Amino acid sequence: MSAAAEDRNLVLVTGLSGGGKSTALRALEDLGFYCVDNLPAALLREFGNQVSHGPSDYARVALGIDARSPEKDLLEIPAWLQDLNRFGIECQLIFLEADGKVILKRFSETRRRHPLTRDEHSLPQAIERETALLAPLKERADWVIDTSETNIHQLRRQVWKCIGADNESMTIVLESFAFKRGVPQDVDFIFDARILPNPHWVDNLRDFSGLDEPVRAWLERDESVERMIADVLGFLKTWLPEFRHSQRSYVTVGIGCTGGRHRSVYLVDRLAQGLGEDFGDVLIHHRELQS
């Protein structure tokens, strides 16, 4: 990808309602994208003109589109993306879908109204109609993600992988987690912080997290904490460049402790600081703090 393309990047997120578009847009927001959800397709061309004339203001943009737009406007989207490419804007389309039964269950659980139920007599009919309306966009999509068996954390990682797939740089995700809640899927390395002193057993620290100064100061007093950070940083700095040289675009490192709130959170924060100088694209995810 050229420098110009990297500086001007637009991602269109669409797909079935209930498929995870909002989660995908939040994942892109974490990457520094300016995100707009539920933009009417009729406004895309004007928005494209704004982007093409103000590249510094709209360097990285993600737009969410759904089937509420008129069919004629949806059919014009592939040509619109092609026009933007001519202006030197790298355009990518992510399409999210899920099994019909899964979509039905999600709407039943959230009690939200499907966008097309105004036009159709039932939810299954609305889903069927939406699938037909968006079929041309699915054919044009750069990536089609089936979220039927994917949780929000896995979907975030999949979106990050899509966006980094053609990038010469490598994105590193550092994720803290609790072993008692299970090891995250799709991690490349796992480090166990349960051997370190646990602030949970200190009464005046229990309600804090590893992001809070009292916990940080307490952990930094222990020599074993500093040794683990140095050892893990040494390992990652030795082997992450090898992944990058092999054209790997995305690596996830999991740091676990018992509850996922103190030691692992602190270590992820320290490791991000240590890797930031050599690896610019470092993302942080604290599973138990954000769930």
Considering the domain architecture, whether residues 264 and 141 belong to the same structural domain is answered as: no
Considering the domain architecture, whether residues 141 and 42 belong to the same structural domain is answered as: yes
Considering the domain architecture, whether residues 103 and 10 belong to the same structural domain is answered as: yes
Average pLDDT over residues 227-237: 96
Count CB neighbours of 151 within 10 A: 13
Highest mean pLDDT among 159-168, 177-186, 199-208, 237-246: 199-208
Domains identified in the chain, total number? 2
The residue from 137, 164, 191 where one domain ends is 164
Considering the domain architecture, whether residues 91 and 226 belong to the same structural domain is answered as: no
Enclosing domain of residue 121: 3-164
Average pLDDT over residues 171-197: 93
**Rg (alpha carbons) of the chain, rounded to whole number:** 22
Here the CATH number for the domain that contains residue 138 is 3.40.50.300
Considering the domain architecture, whether residues 130 and 201 belong to the same structural domain is answered as: no
pLDDT tens digits, one per residue of 103-139:
988 888 877 788 887 755 688 888 888 999 999 999 9
User: What is the pTM assigned to this prediction?
Assistant: 0.59
Higher-pLDDT residue of 230 and 161 is 230
pLDDT tens digits, one per residue of 45-76:
787 777 767 666 677 889 999 888 888 888 88
CB 157 within 8 A of CB 252: yes
Query: Three-class SS string for 102-164?
Result: HHHHHHHHHCCCCCCCCCCCCHHHHHHHHHHHHHHHHHHCCEEEECCCCCHHHHHHHHHHHHH
CB 27 within 8 A of CB 160: yes
92: its two tokens = 């990518």
**pLDDT reported for residue 166:** 42
Q: What is the C-alpha separation between 60 and 58, in angstroms, rounded?
A: 6
The residue from 142, 164, 186 where one domain ends is 164
Considering the domain architecture, whether residues 118 and 238 belong to the same structural domain is answered as: no
The residue from 110, 139, 164 where one domain ends is 164
Q: What is the C-alpha separation between 17 and 23, in angstroms, rounded?
A: 12
Distances, alpha carbon 53 to alpha carbons 2, 7, 43, 88, in Å:
19, 13, 16, 11
Considering the domain architecture, whether residues 42 and 67 belong to the same structural domain is answered as: yes
Considering the domain architecture, whether residues 140 and 30 belong to the same structural domain is answered as: yes
